[in-house]
């Protein structure tokens, strides 16, 4: 049951192939290049490394956010295209849940964070239950410093992962009871998306690709700017 997993939620571009009991191959790149330029190449490369044809795939796992607005759209469009062309199901995975799979360790919390701009972070809190992860705090948007302060007061040690956690490592270092994940265990990975998706494939929890959309949590800056300009233009017309 080989599945293809892709993650385009941040500047990290990744594609992986996994089966029920193992990770078969993964391609990962952390460079500031548009996902539209690299993702399809990574999919072709990971299939080549795994000595597989796309027709060997039985499903596709894709991260659906939160994260980069443009990146998520590119990843989801690619997953839908391949699902339709190959007639195979899609499983959707939270970008934040996938990052928790870096640390399947009991007795700690994983604070998965991604940059939400203007000093804010997308935040969700997870705890390993021996098989998967329980969501201890639902996905929300918080000021990053306030998020760190909140987590420092929890009853268990907390490991922060994610791009904004790396950018603001100095804030994390000033608190007790919390720490920053290692550099290679901090950013999103397609392999993590695959691991989070495999149980869902086994349970038949497939997404409807006709109405599957990215999870943005908040509106993009472009949408906010358009709304402001539209409201201003309307007010000027009525003046």
How much is the pTM? 0.89
Give the model's pLDDT for residue 91.
98
**Burial environment of residue 6 by CB neighbours within 10 A (0 to 12, 13 to 18, 19 or more):** buried
Pairing of strands 22-30, 12-19: antiparallel
Give 68-84 pLDDT, tens digit per residue: 999 999 999 999 999 99
Cβ(117)–Cβ(222) below 8 Å: no
Give 197-206 pLDDT, tens digit per residue: 999 999 999 9
Task: Supply φ then ψ for residue 87, to 5 degrees.
Answer: 55, 50
Per-residue burial over 66-76, b if 16 or more Cβ lie within 10 Å, else e, is: bbbbebbbbbb
Average pLDDT, the chain: 91
d(CA 176, CA 211): 44
pLDDT range class, residue 30, cuts 50, 70, 90: confident
d(CA 76, CA 218): 18
d(CA 43, CA 37): 12
């Amino acid at each position: 049951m080989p599945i293809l997993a892709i993650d385009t939620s941040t500047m990290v571009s990744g594609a992986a192939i996994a089966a029920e009991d193992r990770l078969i191959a993964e391609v990962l790149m952390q460079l500031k290049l548009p996902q539209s330029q690299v993702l399809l190449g990574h999919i072709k490369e990971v299939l080549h490394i795994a000595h597989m044809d796309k027709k060997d795939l039985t499903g596709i796992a894709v991260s659906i956010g939160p994260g980069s607005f443009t990146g998520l759209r590119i990843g989801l469009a690619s997953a839908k295209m391949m699902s339709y062309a190959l007639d195979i199901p899609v499983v959707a995975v939270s970008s934040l849940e996938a990052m928790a799979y870096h640390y399947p360790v009991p007795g700690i919390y994983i604070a998965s964070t991604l940059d939400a701009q203007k000093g804010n972070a997308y935040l969700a809190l997870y705890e390993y239950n021996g098989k998967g992860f329980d969501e201890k705090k639902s996905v929300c948007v918080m000021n990053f410093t306030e998020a760190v302060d909140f987590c420092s007061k929890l009853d268990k040690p907390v490991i922060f992962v994610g791009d904004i956690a790396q950018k603001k490592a100095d804030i994390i270092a000033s608190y007790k009871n919390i720490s920053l994940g290692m550099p290679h265990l901090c950013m999103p990975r397609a392999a993590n998306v695959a691991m989070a998706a495999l149980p869902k494939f086994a349970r038949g929890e497939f997404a409807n690709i006709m109405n599957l959309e990215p999870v943005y949590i908040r509106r993009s800056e472009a949408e906010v700017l358009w709304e402001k300009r539209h409201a201003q233009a309307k007010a000027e017309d009525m003046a």
